[in-house]
Amino acid sequence: MKTRVQNRAATISTIQQILRVQGMAKLITLGAEEELQIVDQQSLELATHDFERGQLDFPDRNGSSSCELHKAVVELQTPICHTPDQIVASVADMREIIRLRAQAQGQRILSAGVHPFSNWKEQEINKDLHKHQHYIRLVDEYADIMRSLVSYGFHVHLGLPKGIPAMAVFNSLRNSLAPVLAISLSSPFYEGRDTGMQSWRHSMLDRLPRMGTPDIWRSEEEYFQHINLLRKVGTLEAQHGMWEDLRLHHHYHTLEVRICDATPSLEHIWLITALLQCEVATLVEDYQRGRLPKPLSRACLEENKWRVRRRGLAASLIDWNSETPVSLYDYFEHWLTRLTPAAQELNLLDRMREKVQALFIQGASADIQRGIFQRSENYQTIVQHLIHETEDAHFASASYLQ
């Protein structure tokens, strides 16, 4: 009798847990930023783009855009979204707007972590004292490290439901940074050379301070106290935060995942966004149940990040609980199983499984680029491929504008 009562209680508890997940996952809001490369349509080298002229001639639509330090960069930003489909729709719309701007200036656009052969020393920067004081200060502080940092990323913002302590979710979300990087890998070539890496972009970024895997923070207050201290001593400008692979955003108060290379594939953008939305929804549920996964140390996470940067989808991640290597493919299988309740609530599970399978069959952008170079031995051919994949990207979804 006691066993039957215990079983019934366990069943009720399970149902309650499922009910708590239902509706909670849909409260995780999304936003994204993508840094696009502007290249000359003839030479395919990085090109100086007149951002203000382009924005005037072709206004933003279903998103916004901004310039960056280097004139060969245009960043697009999505509005606040609720589904990965909406993120992809905004990215596609804004890519088309920026493509039209570039075309009017004899240029093309592409999405990848770095340009395969352009030389950083030839890139112009925005240095108008009245318009770009922030960029001027960065160059003054970081000198050639900042001048040479011609790199391009894809960032995802995740908004939490009210009442959920952001830092508790932040600490455990760190554990999932390496596998989402693996989906985006797109920077194997740099300045006309195969770097041997799948993401050379991170080899560039890691030269700066306050980069890489973030520490574990005891509270949100402690995190922002540290940022305020850095501002006080002059290390950070007012109204600016740190640049790590994951940060608690200083304005929007979102969890901003910054680890990903820019990637031409809308399918990969969708998959990154879907996995992160489901992961955060699952962590919120774990928090409510008092079962958040133990945050791994920075050293352990950096080890797995290195493996992904070097070996890509062929990497084995270390399962630090069992202290054994696990193939990235098996990692994704286990991860999808863990995310199943949230993914089912969001109606994402089947498409997530399909896109993970396609990823391991077709490869990340870095794999595809290497295959093209092995056949052509021509860096221009890689750039032409990236232009086509970015400007003519398609997305397979019946609920594209959901």
Tens digit of each residue's pLDDT (9 = 90 or more) over 153-168: 999 999 999 999 999 9
Q: Sort strands 153-159 and 73-77 into parallel, antiparallel or unpaired.
A: unpaired
Average pLDDT, the chain: 93
Task: Give residue 238's pLDDT.
Answer: 87
pTM: 0.93
- DSSP 3-state assignment of 200? coil
Task: Give residue 24's pLDDT.
Answer: 72
Q: What is the DSSP letter of 322?
A: T
Q: How confident is the model at residue 398 (pLDDT cuts 50, 70, 90)?
A: very low
H helices of 217-364, in order, are 220-232, 266-289, 298-311, 328-345, 349-362
Q: Sort strands 153-159 and 107-110 into parallel, antiparallel or unpaired.
A: unpaired
Distance CA 88, CA 270 (A): 6
Give Cα 244 distance to the centre of its chain.
12
- Residue showing tokens 């955003």: 249
Task: Give residue 6's pLDDT.
Answer: 47
Percent of the chain scored above 90 by pLDDT?
87
Q: State yes or no: pLDDT of 133 exceeds 60.
A: yes
Q: What is the DSSP letter of 196?
A: S
Task: Give residue 399's pLDDT.
Answer: 45
Q: In this predicted structure, which of 88-97, 113-122, 238-247 has the lowest mean pLDDT?
A: 238-247
Q: Which residue has the higher pLDDT, 177 or 2?
A: 177
CB 41 within 8 A of CB 106: yes
H helices of 80-219, in order, are 84-104, 133-147, 166-173, 177-184, 201-205
Q: 2-37: per-residue pLDDT in tens?
A: 444 444 444 334 434 444 444 678 899 999 999 999
- In this structure, the number of other CB atoms found within 10 A of the CB of residue 42 comes to 10
Q: Which residues sit opposite 194 in a β-bridge?
A: 189
CB 163 within 8 A of CB 33: no
Candidates 231, 189, 199, 210; CA nearest to 372 is 189
Q: 101-129: per-residue pLDDT in tens?
A: 999 999 999 999 999 999 999 999 998 87
CB 43 within 8 A of CB 19: no
> Under the phi-then-psi rule, with left for phi > 0, alpha for psi from -120 to 50, and beta for the rest, what region is 327?
beta
Q: State yes or no: pLDDT of 99 exceeds 80.
A: yes
Candidates 75, 87, 367, 113; CA nearest to 261 is 113
Q: 188-213: per-residue pLDDT in tens?
A: 999 999 999 999 999 999 999 999 99
CB 335 within 8 A of CB 179: yes
CB 205 within 8 A of CB 211: yes
What is the C-alpha radius of gyration for the chain, rounded to an integer number of angstroms? 21
Distance CA 145, CA 150 (A): 10
Task: Give residue 178's pLDDT.
Answer: 98
Per-residue pLDDT, averaged over 253-263, amounts to 97
Percent of the chain scored above 70 by pLDDT?
93
Q: State yes or no: pLDDT of 258 exceeds 60.
A: yes
Residues 6+ apart with CB under 8 A from 21: 281, 282, 285, 341, 342, 345
Tell me how long the chain is.
402
- Residue showing tokens 């093309």: 108
Task: Give residue 128's pLDDT.
Answer: 85
Give Cα 216 distance to the centre of its chain.
20
